[in-house]
Amino acid sequence: ELPRTTTGPLSVAGVSLGVLSASDETISSGGVSQRTLTPGLSDGSLGGFGQTGTDPLAVQLIVPPASISFCLSQCGVTLVSTRTGSRVTFANTPLTGGAVINGTVDIGTTSGTLTSSDSGSFRPVNSTVSSSNAVRKFTFSVLGTDAQAGLSLMTVSVRNGAAISAQATVGIASQVLSCFETASFLAPACAGITLAADGRSVTFANTSLRGGPVGQPARDVVFNGSVVAKGE
C-alpha cells in the first residue's frame, strides 16, 4: 500500500465524497506564480483549485463525462500551509448550477533537501511513489524548472525497507550517478539510505553514488540529507 497524505472527505451538494488523491503544483512565469491543487473524488469527479499569486482561490469541479461547474470569486475557500503540506477548507463554497462544497482537504507535498560533495544541492519540487510487487520506487524531480541544469532527478528503489538502487541525474542526463544492491566496479552498494516509518521520507547519510560524464573516468559523489515524497 502506497503512503497516503491526502485526506477528506468533502461534501458536494450534500453528498459526502472521499478524496482519493491530489496534486499540488506551482509554476512561475514572468514573476507570477500559478498554483493548482487537483483532488480526485470518490465519485469520479475532479476538482481544480487555482490561485494566481496571492489572489483568492478559484474553484472548478469536473464531473464526467462533460459537466463543469465553478466559482471564480467570493468562494469561501482558505488555503494554509501545514507541517506536511497544505490544507484547503471550503465554507459553503457556491458553484454554478447550485451545488455547494463544504469540508477540509489535507494534501501532502514534496519537500526536503539533499547536498552532494561536488554536484551542488537538490531541492525537489515534484515526486512520485510507485510499487511493483515488493519494490517501492521513489522519484524526486526538479525537471521543468530553472534548477534542472544541476541535479535534476533522484530515484530510489526500496525492497523490504532496504535500498536496492539509487540514481542521481545531472542536467538532462548529462551525468548519471548510481549505487546498487551489490557493489561492482561500475557502482558501489547502496549504503546509508533509509526509509522512514511514514513510508515517504528517504534519508541519505554519507551515501556514495558513482558515475560521471560520458567518456570521463567515473567518480564517487557523496550525498546527505532527507527528501519527502508527496504520497497519494
**Grid cell at residue 81:** 500551509
SS3 of 5, please? Answer: coil
Residue 142 has what DSSP assignment?
-
CB atoms within 10 A of CB 5: 23
Helix then strand count (H, E) for the chain reads 0, 20
**Intra-chain end-to-end CA distance of the chain, in Å:** 10
User: The whole model's pTM is what?
Assistant: 0.74
Report the run of H or E that residue 139 belongs to, with start and end.
Answer: strand 135-141
Write out the chain's pLDDT in tens, 232 residues.
567 677 888 999 999 999 988 877 777 667 788 888 888 899 999 988 888 888 888 999 998 877 899 999 899 999 888 877 888 999 999 999 999 999 999 888 888 999 999 999 999 988 888 888 899 999 999 887 778 889 999 999 999 999 999 999 999 889 999 999 999 989 999 999 999 988 889 999 999 999 998 888 999 999 999 999 886 6
